[in-house]
């Protein structure tokens, strides 16, 4: 599930009805085009999930709070205990096929502030598709024609006939593989923390990992690449992996622009591919920081149309899932999604944040609309999180000295 909260100042609206009506009616209108959201998941005889258009609808909830919206504080600091009160989960659902594919909760605060909480089933679509849906919804809410409509033909990402696995795909693991975890994160209680990377810090991290090529030009990594490398190193150390163990960093990559031609505009589905950076824990933690950055870069460069087609066929032929467990860490970037541009008629959100971070996922996002800071959020068992926090804070302090 994707659980996300949009916080709006609301321009003084104080009653629940005036907050929800400009949101509810446009939602009903756009769901005509985005009709898969009003159905439910079904599991086919082949074990694959599909959306059946039952027309059961989207759960829409109105709520009111006697508090000021400021009591939420900085919602980019992940606090599931508070933020999950601002989203609505399907009551009584025992399995994923019983869950609503989309729920919306609008909460009005006494100051006129408004939060819009969304829960979306990730099996149906990815973050980019959700962002496109929100674009259409906010367009209609402001009396405009939808600027982007869903492309619903999933056949563009079907397996080839016959399937052809041309490349290794270590980003996947067998469904029934034996467990060999160093830290069993599923059974240990998690704590969630967020870490802020200021522009100056990112500049310094890029400087120490910039290389000069043979022609004299400089190859400067992106902010996301240096953050990914630093988090990967710190997490590997925090979990106490054996130096001979293989550690992986899986990065969610939007596959839409990787095709030639790109996937149709508005492709409504999961267009994500996973890059896989891997090495031994010893190499990652003992070699210079540049090694980790270059390993991440090389994995990202490998995500091409051929790689994605091969991955689709690999999944078709084998009982595999994305390797979320064991020594693998997944990282996803929200900073390029257009969440801060959403305006339902009462201004843009001043903050957008997830209510929680799923197991083994690191989320990279913008702190707020006004801030240039990048926030990195994750959950770990408490003992591992204490080590991780110390390592990250030490590195940030070092960079800030320059």
Catalytic residue numbers read 122, 343
Tell whether omega for the bond before 162 is within 30 degrees of 0, i.e. cis. Answer: yes
Sign of the Cα torsion 32, 38, 41, 44 reads negative
φ/ψ of residue 145, rounded to 5: -75, 145
* Residue 337: other Cβ atoms inside 10 A: 20
Could you give the angle at the alpha carbon of 335 between the alpha carbons of 69 and 388, nearest 5°? 85
* DSSP class of 256: G
Please tell me the distance from the alpha carbon of residue 30 to that of residue 116, in angstroms, as a whole number. Answer: 17
* Contact residues for 81 (Cβ-Cβ < 8 A; gap 6+): none
Using alpha carbons, select from 298, 37, 318, 273 the residue that is nearest to residue 173: 318
Task: Reply yes or no: is the peptide bond before residue 91 cis, omega within 30 of 0.
Answer: no
């Amino acid at each position: 599930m994707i659980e996300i909260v949009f916080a709006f100042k609301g321009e003084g609206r104080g009653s629940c009805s005036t907050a929800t009506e400009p949101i509810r009616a446009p939602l009903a209108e756009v769901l005509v085009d985005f009709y898969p959201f009003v159905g439910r998941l079904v599991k086919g005889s082949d074990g694959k999930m599909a959306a059946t258009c039952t027309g059961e609808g989207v759960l829409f909830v109105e709520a009111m709070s006697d508090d000021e919206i400021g009591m939420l504080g900085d919602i980019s600091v992940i606090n599931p205990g508070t933020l999950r009160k601002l989203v609505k989960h399907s009551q009584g659902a025992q399995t994923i096929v019983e869950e609503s594919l989309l729920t919306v909760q609008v909460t009005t605060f006494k100051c006129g502030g408004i939060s819009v909480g969304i829960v979306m089933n990730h099996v149906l679509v990815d973050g980019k598709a959700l962002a496109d849906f929100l674009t259409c919804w906010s367009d209609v809410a402001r009396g405009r024609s939808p600027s982007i409509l869903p492309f619903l033909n999933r056949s563009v990402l079907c397996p080839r006939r016959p399937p052809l696995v041309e490349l290794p795909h270590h980003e996947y693991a067998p469904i029934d593989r034996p467990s060999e975890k160093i830290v069993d994160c599923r059974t240990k209680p998690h704590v969630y923390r967020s870490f802020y990377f200021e522009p100056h810090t990112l500049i310094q991290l890029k400087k120490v990992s910039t290389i000069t090529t043979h022609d004299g030009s400089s190859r400067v990594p992106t902010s996301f690449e240096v953050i990914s490398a630093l988090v990967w190193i710190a997490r590997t150390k925090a979990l106490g992996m054996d130096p001979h163990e293989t550690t992986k960093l899986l990065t969610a990559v939007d596959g839409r622009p990787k095709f030639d031609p790109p996937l149709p505009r508005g492709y409504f589905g999961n267009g994500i591919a996973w890059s896989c950076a891997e090495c031994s824990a010893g190499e990652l933690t003992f070699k210079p920081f540049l090694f980790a950055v270059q390993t991440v870069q090389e994995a990202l460069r490998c995500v091409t149309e051929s790689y994605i087609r091969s991955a689709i066929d690999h999944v078709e032929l084998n009982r595999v899932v994305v390797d979320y467990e064991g020594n693998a860490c997944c990282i996803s970037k929200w900073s390029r999604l257009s969440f801060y541009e959403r305006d339902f008629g009462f201004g843009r959100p001043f903050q957008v944040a997830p209510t929680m971070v799923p197991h083994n996922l690191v989320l990279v996002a913008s702190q707020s609309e006004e801030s240039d800071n990048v926030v990195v959020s994750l959950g770990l068992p408490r003992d591992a999180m204490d080590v991780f926090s110390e390592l990250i804070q030490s590195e940030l302090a070092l960079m800030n000295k320059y």
